[in-house]
Structures are given as C-alpha cells and as structure tokens.
C-alpha cells in the first residue's frame, strides 16, 4: 500500500512516501524549488517521491496532510475577531492565503494528483509530530512530547505511545497563545534574525552571554512546575500581527531590537575586536540570547520531567520545531529521568508529512510496526552519468577507485583545503549529515573563520559541528548516557561537552567546550565513514568539521548543478561529487 504524506502552506513544505509502512522517499520542497523554507504545495517533492518508487498518482491509496485546516481557520478567525481592529493586517495577510490555498487543500491535492477526494485525509498537527517520532523510533512503548510554535491550537502536547496495538494518546496539551516556540521565535525576531530560520543563530549566540534576564523573562512568561507556560500577552503582538511579534511594553523591558546588520563583537571568546560601545550593545543581545535559551531549557526540562514522573516511561520520543534545539535536547537527555530519547532528523514541520502518513498506516489502518529510521538519507540521488553531464567542460577528473578518492580527499583536507562533499541521496531534515556537506580540518581555530566568512558568508559567532566515528564517540565526549545508543546524536541534535584532551585537538568544532555531535556508523554511510577513518589515521584526530553545503540564505544543494553553482560562487577549494574531483 502506497501512502503519500504532505506538509505545506506554513513553512518547510515536504513530501514523504511510505510503501507498506516502510519509508521509501522523503524530501523538502526547498531542495528542488531552491526557495529557502518553501511553504508552497510540494509538487516537486511529490514528483520525486513517486518517481523514486516508480509509481503513478493512481497507485496511491491515501494522501495525508499534516494538519487539519478547519481548526486552524477557527484560530485565525477567533484571533481576528478578538483583537479587531489591531488584527486588521493579520486578517488581510492571512485571508488571502486562506481563500487562495488553505481552504481548498483537499480539492487541490485531488486535482493535482488526479485522485478521488476521498483518498485525501488529515491528521492533527501535533499528532503528526508525535507519530513521526514514535513510529520512526526503535521503542515498543514510549512517552511522547511535542513542542513547537503552534499547530491548529496546540503548542505542546504530551502523552504515551504503544506498539501493540499501535496507539498514541496525547493526554495533555498547551494551547495558543501560550507557546514556548512562539516565545523563542519572538526573541529570534527581536535579536534581528528571521523567524523559523534564525532560531539556530540565537542558540549559537547564547554561549557568548550570561542569562541575566531570567527575572524579566519570568515577568513576560510564567512557567509552571509541569512546564506549562502562561504568557502575559501585553508584551506580545504575534496573536494579532503578522508583521511584529512584540509590543512597546516588551521593548521598554528589553531595550530596542537588534539591527540585523549589527556586527557581532562582544569582547568575549573569539568574536574579534571592535569599539567598546559596540561590544557593550552586543553583550546586551548575547545576554538576552543566553536568557531565552536558558528559559527554554528550563521549561523543556520541567515538561519532560513531569512527563517522566507521570508515565514512569524509560523512553521519550520528542518532536516539533523546539526539538531541533540541540542544546536543550542534551539537558533533557541528561536530567529528565529518561534512559533514551528519540528525535527524527526532520523534527520540525516538514517531518509532519512523515508522521501523518505513519499515523494512517499504523493507527487508522492498524498495521504493526516494521520500520526504524536509522539514518537520514531519503532524498534524491544522482547517477555518475547525470553528474558527468553537469560537469561537462569543467575539467573535473574521474577518480578510478574508491581508495584513490579517499586518499586524495584526505590529502586535500590535511593541506587545509575546504571540500564540497556531494554523495548519494540528500538528507531528510535541516542538517547536512555527510551527503551534501562542506568538510574541513577542525584542528585549527582559523578554519572556523575561513569557512564562516569565505565559504558560507555567515555570522562569525555561528559554530560548526563535528562528525566522529561512532566507535570513538564515548571516549571523546563526556557522556554518562552511552551516546552510541542515542539516536539524536546521529542526526546532529545533541550538543555534548568534549573531553578536555579531545576538545583541545579540534578548536574549529569546539564551541565553549561543547560540540554539536554527529556520530557515524560505517553501515549508514560507508564512503563518509572511510573518509573520516583515513583522516583520523593521517592526523591522529578522527574528527571532521561538517556544515551544510549551501551559502547563507540558500537551501542546501540538491542536484549536481546546484553543487557546481555553489562551488563557483563560494570560496570552496575542491568539489568531490560522486566519483569526480573538481579543483579551482
């Protein structure tokens, strides 16, 4: 049975195909359309899923959307009426989207695919998040936690899931406008970053500050012992404005918002030098980033601890956009009382497409489980012929053997070159995990600056992540949790403290003593593992700096021509693409 899952019309549209409950293909629309966070109907991602499986739309038994439009419309209309006339711009902006797209989604899907409307189903947003984590996990039973900005009305849920029979009972929920995700996004906007994009930047900025605004934060958001929140809405305007998410009262308390172009120099760590007043202004913003990060960690930990106490569960499945906060995830793993946590790589809204399809297969149709999501490589791959035609006339060299390719790449890395690394199927989720990656030698601190400024063109404070062979992970990180059993470590969703000696050897991926780890087992990606192993043999350090293969503001590359284009316009030194090597 073929079930297509779709998420769209908010941000990060995606499509996923299940065949008899087994994941076959999954991709975000942005990789094909080249529009970052593309929210539109994922026509290209659907086309890829169907072509990958060699099926036609008429072969689909069900097409499942990751949220229910009517309750969402109810929230939109309720907010409009409650906050009129302040909500007039929200209404104008939103009404067009509702009239043009969201209201007619069932007909649109049926027409696009030429299928019966009765085949189009809807699953609640947080249920889709919950299902995406539990039905990808190896756990037969688990506690479930979902936290995001907002779905239909829910902003966080908790409950339990079981496998025989397959069921998910979300017994508790927090509702809009009380939302940990929207609180974090409000600070993201205040700190000069784009919402649903810059949350990572707030997390990256946080270690440069001190959380000295926690009492002010408690004033705007009251945190209960069970982790639930009560926002004081006089500080916020997201409930009635699509332009600005905070009020004058908020700026009276926290100061003026940060200009997005403000150079980030704090006088701390490795942010460089600058005038004293600039340092002080930035320190204020870094302290705010540290405060909202700490508040979020505290809130999540309270939620997770409450969930553990009330369910007694040993396992926790966690999903929703907030589950991409890798610093908070490690605190949750360490302190909430669970033995193991599972987060699938597309924990945000794109992942709802996967959970919606799985919910139909396992819960509505009652089918047993037979799938665990062990790796993230579910996107499109390209043959050597396709790569070769994209590279025609560039002078790229076909490397004859696997051994030679690895040897050449190691030699390039050791000599300080920065590599574009393009192999196999692209990754599911926002992280590059070795198939669409930029790789570099992490043994010098300078490499961080080189990759940030010449290649990624991004902010100097943003850290880079290490990839480490699974067999070396426990020796290199301080982790009583047996990291090799923790799936989020595979997907770069845990920030862990380095063991002192190991951390000193890799300053390029050592962010104030921590690293956002990707652990790698050979069977998940043999070529990438081999590169890492041979780099370790050549240098004594089996660690590479890994960041996504894109430049600032663009989606991660998908096709060989995307890779070539990014290679040319960035400061990348060498491109390894399939079996080809292209230098500059």
Window of 263-271, 346-354, 497-505, 517-525 that interacts with Fe ion by CB under 5 A = 346-354
Residues forming a β-bridge with 422: 436, 577
Closest contact distance (angstroms) between CB of 45 and Fe ion is: 18
Q: How many residues does the chain have?
A: 584
340, 139 in Cβ contact below 8 A?
A: yes
Contact stretch for Fe ion (CB under 5 A) within 239-247, 343-351, 373-381, 445-453? 343-351
Give me the torsion for CA of 373, 379, 380, 382, rounded to 10°. -70
Minimum CB separation of residue 173 from Fe ion in Å reads 13
Please state the closest distance from residue 477 (CB atom) to Fe ion, in A. Answer: 30
- Whose Cβ is closer to Fe ion: residue 148's or residue 470's? 148
- Residue whose CB is less far from Fe ion, 148 or 287: 148
Tell me if residue 63 falls in helix, strand or coil: strand
Q: How far is the CB of 351 from Fe ion (least distance, A)?
A: 8
Burial tier of 521 (Cβ tally within 10 Å: 0-12, 13-18, 19+):
middle
From residue 105 to residue 144, the character string flagging contacts with Fe ion as x (rule: CB under 5 A) and all else as - is ----------------------------------------
Nearest approach, Cβ of residue 66 and Fe ion (Å): 8
| Cβ atoms 180, 267 nearer than 8 A | no
Q: Kindly tell me which of 343 and 465 has the beta carbon lying closer to Fe ion.
A: 343
Query: Could you tell me the two tokens for 3?
Result: 């079930």
CA atoms within 13 A on the CB side of 165: 10
Q: Which is nearer to Fe ion, 202 or 563 (CB)?
A: 202
CB of 321 to Fe ion, least distance (A): 6
Site for Fe ion contains 178 (CB under 5 A): no
Q: Minimum CB separation from Fe ion for residue 147, in Å? A: 9
Cβ count within 10 A of residue 397: 13
Comparing CB distances to Fe ion, the nearer of 348 and 488 is 348
Q: Minimum CB separation from Fe ion for residue 347, in Å?
A: 9
Q: Which of 30, 38, 297, 349 binds Fe ion (CB under 5 A)?
A: 349
Nearer to Fe ion, 148 or 579 (CB): 148
Q: Are 520 and 467 in contact (CB under 8 A)?
A: yes
Q: Which is nearer to Fe ion, 349 or 573 (CB)?
A: 349
Per CB under 5 A, the segment of 285-293, 348-356, 498-506, 515-523 that binds Fe ion is: 348-356
Helix (H) or strand (E) holding 214: helix 214-220
Q: Give the count of beta carbons closer than 10 Å to the beta carbon of residue 513.
A: 13
Give the per-residue contact string, 138-167, with Fe ion (x = CB under 5 A; - = no): ----------x-------------------
Question: Cβ of residue 535: shortest distance to Fe ion, in angstroms?
Answer: 37
Write the burial class of residue 383 (CB in 10 Å: 0-12 exposed, 13-18 middle, 19+ buried). exposed
Give the position of tokens 């998410």: 245
Nearest residue (beta carbon) to Fe ion: 148
Nearest-angstrom CA–CA distance, 427 and 550: 13
Residue bearing tokens 């062990």: 374
- Tell me the number of residues near Fe ion by CB under 5 A: 2
**Beta carbons within 8 Å of 328's beta carbon, 6+ residues apart:** 293, 296, 297, 300, 301, 322
Binding site for Fe ion (CB under 5 A): 148, 349
């Amino acid at each position: 049975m073929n079930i297509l899952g779709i998420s769209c019309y908010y941000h990060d549209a995606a499509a996923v195909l299940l065949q008899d409950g087994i994941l076959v293909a999954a991709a975000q629309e942005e990789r094909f359309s080249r529009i970052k966070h593309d929210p539109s109907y994922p026509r290209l991602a659907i086309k890829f899923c169907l072509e990958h499986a060699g099926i036609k739309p008429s072969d689909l038994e069900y097409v499942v959307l990751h949220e229910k439009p009517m309750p969402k419309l109810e929230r939109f209309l309720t907010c409009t009426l409650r906050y009129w006339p302040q909500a007039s711009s929200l209404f104008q902006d939103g009404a067009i989207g509702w009239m043009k797209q969201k209201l007619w989604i069932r007909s649109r899907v049926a027409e696009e695919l030429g299928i019966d409307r009765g085949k189009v189903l809807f699953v609640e947003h947080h249920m889709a998040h919950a299902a995406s984590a539990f039905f990808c996990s190896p756990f037969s039973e688990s506690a479930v936690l979902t936290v995001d900005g907002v779905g239909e009305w829910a902003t966080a849920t908790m409950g339990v899931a079981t496998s025989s029979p397959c069921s998910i009972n979300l017994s508790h929920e927090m509702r809009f406008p009380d939302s940990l995700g929207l609180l974090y996004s409000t600070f993201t906007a205040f700190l000069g970053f784009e919402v649903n994009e810059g949350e990572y930047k707030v997390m990256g900025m946080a270690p440069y500050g001190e959380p000295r605004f926690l009492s002010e934060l408690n004033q705007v958001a009251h945190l209960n012992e069970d982790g639930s929140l009560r926002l004081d809405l006089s500080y916020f305007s997201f409930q009635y404005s699509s332009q600005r998410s905070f009020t004058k009262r908020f700026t009276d308390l926290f100061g003026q918002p940060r200009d997005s172009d403000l150079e980030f120099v704090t006088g701390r760590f490795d942010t460089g030098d600058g005038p004293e007043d600039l340092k002080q202004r930035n320190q204020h913003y870094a302290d705010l980033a540290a405060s909202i990060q700490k508040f979020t960690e505290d809130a999540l930990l309270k939620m997770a601890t409450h969930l553990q106490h009330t369910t007694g569960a040993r396992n926790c499945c966690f999903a929703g956009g907030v589950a991409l906060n890798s610093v908070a995830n490690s605190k949750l793993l360490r302190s909430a009382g669970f033995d193991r946590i599972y987060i699938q790589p597309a924990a945000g809204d794109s992942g709802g497409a996967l959970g919606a399809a799985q919910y139909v297969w396992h819960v509505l149709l009652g089918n047993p489980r037979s799938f665990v999501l062990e790796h993230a490589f579910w996107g499109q791959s390209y043959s050597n012929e396709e790569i070769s035609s994209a590279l025609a006339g560039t002078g790229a060299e076909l490397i004859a053997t696997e051994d030679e390719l690895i040897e050449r790449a190691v030699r390039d890395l050791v000599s300080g070159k920065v590599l574009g690394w393009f192999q196999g199927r692209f990754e599911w989720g926002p992280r590059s995990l070795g198939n669409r990656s930029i790789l570099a030698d992490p043994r010098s601190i300078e490499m961080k600056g080189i990759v940030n400024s010449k290649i990624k063109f991004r902010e100097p404070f943003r850290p880079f992540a290490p990839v480490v062979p699974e067999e070396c992970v426990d020796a290199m990180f301080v982790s009583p949790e047996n990291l090799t059993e923790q799936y989020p470590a595979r997907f770069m969703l845990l920030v862990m403290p380095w063991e002192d000696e190991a951390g000193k050897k890799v300053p390029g991926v050592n962010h104030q003593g921590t690293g956002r780890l990707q652990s790698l087992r050979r069977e998940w990606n043999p070529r990438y593992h081999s590169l890492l192993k041979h780099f370790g043999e050549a240098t004594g350090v089996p660690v590479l700096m890994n960041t996504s293969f894109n430049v600032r503001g663009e989606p991660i590359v998908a096709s060989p021509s995307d890779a070539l284009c990014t290679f040319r316009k960035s400061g990348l030194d060498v491109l390894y693409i399939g079996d080809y090597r292209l230098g500059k």
